[in-house]
Amino acid sequence: MPTLGRILETALYVDDLARAATFYETVLGLSAMLETPTLRAYDVGGASVLLLFKRGASLKTQASPGGSIPPHDGSGPQHIGFAVTAEALKDWEDRLGAASVAIEGRMNWDQGGTSIYFRDPDDNMLELLTPGLWPNYR
């Protein structure tokens, strides 16, 4: 059987793309690699891409000279976890507090690692996770 590498892209769907872009750029410090009226693509740690789609804008096949992209969309709060070092977690907590972003939960995992949970402006649940929880994240 062929093997998969890693998850390269992860998508979240947002109601207000400009508002979401401001949050992800100013609060999380992500840099946009692509900006269109319906999409922002962000580099995450030089290893993956976070796609923010305007909710409902991808419900039809998108054709281009290079091919086509089938319809997709999402509704309701979604979840994504970002890897952070244990040493940086306190700095992230301070940064979120300074931006008036409430930390809704904290988890110290039995296997190791700590998670903090907070929401973006579209109610998506975001997690910052230190190494330890997963065998492939030590």
**Residue range 30-49, pLDDT digits in tens:** 999 999 999 999 999 999 99
- Compute the residue count for the chain: 138
Residue extents of the structural domains in the chain: 10-56+78-129
| CA geometry: angle 130, 84, 124, nearest 5 deg | 95
Q: Just give the CATH number of 10-56+78-129.
A: 3.10.180.10
User: What are the tens digits of pLDDT across the range 101-122?
Assistant: 999 999 999 999 999 999 999 9
Which pTM was predicted?
A: 0.93
108 contacts 130 by C-beta, under 8 angstroms = no
